[in-house]
Amino acid sequence: MSTENNWIAVASTDELEEDDVIEAEVDGQPVAVYQTKAGYFASHGICSHEYARLCEGFVFGNVIECPKHQGRFDVRNGAAKGAPAHEPIATYPVRVTGETIEVQFPGTQS
């Protein structure tokens, strides 16, 4: 992964279809990367309710549904949108450079 001012290359645009999610690892942390009609988004890759990988969930609109207990989160801001999830998940800025999806992840070393 390349870094420039804490921007980390996590995927290529051809790896994601609309209403899809993949998992990347940044500094040993799971990051869920999404594509919706509104664009590309990224969040912490683990549900805040109980340990489950969000990359195994379902994306519809701007929402990711956790595969374990169907808690829901807004991928744009991490807000919990459906029980049993009540705590938000962290989200990260995303940009696309050419065909590369990059995430600005706190604490990465440039």
> DSSP letter string over 31-75?
EEEEEETTEEEEEESB-SSSS-BGGGSEEETTEEE-TTT--EEET
**Mean local confidence (pLDDT), 19-35:** 95
pLDDT of residue 50: 86
Instruction: State the fold for domain 3-104.
Output: Rieske Iron-sulfur Protein (2.102.10)
pLDDT of residue 106: 77
pTM recorded for the entire structure: 0.89
Burial status of residue 20 (CB atoms within 10 A of its CB: 0-12, 13-18, 19 or more): middle
